[in-house]
Amino acid sequence: MLQAPLLRELHYWLLAGRHGAAIRQLGWPGGHAERIARAVARLRTEFSRAWAIEELADVAGMSARPSTATSARRPRCRGCSF
């Protein structure tokens, strides 16, 4: 009997708390988490295929261009498709 009110209270405190904005953004349609989930789902269905970073970025609706701050530190990978 107390389960529904307790769950509602828990949701309230999570969404009203310090990280509430970040938690709310996870549920937005077309948000960052949904776009990444779309790319992960594609990887799972076609796991035997070699993927280029640009293809995954396109599936997720993101840019494949690396930031200049991290590209200099990124190690080279022999045989990788990116």
At 20-56, the pLDDT tens digits run: 998 888 878 878 888 888 889 999 998 888 888 888 8
Nearest residue to 44 (alpha-carbon basis) of 62, 56, 30: 56
Residues in CB range of 1: below 8 A, 6 or more apart: none
This model's pTM is above 0.85: no
Task: Convert the pLDDT of each residue in 46-74 to its tens digit.
Answer: 888 888 888 888 888 888 776 555 555 55
Q: What are phi and psi of 9, to 5 degrees?
A: -65, -40
Query: Domain spans of the chain?
Result: 1-29, 31-66
Packing angle, helices 53-60 and 32-45, rounded to 10:
130
Conformation bin of residue 61: beta by default, left when phi > 0, alpha when psi is -120 to 50: left
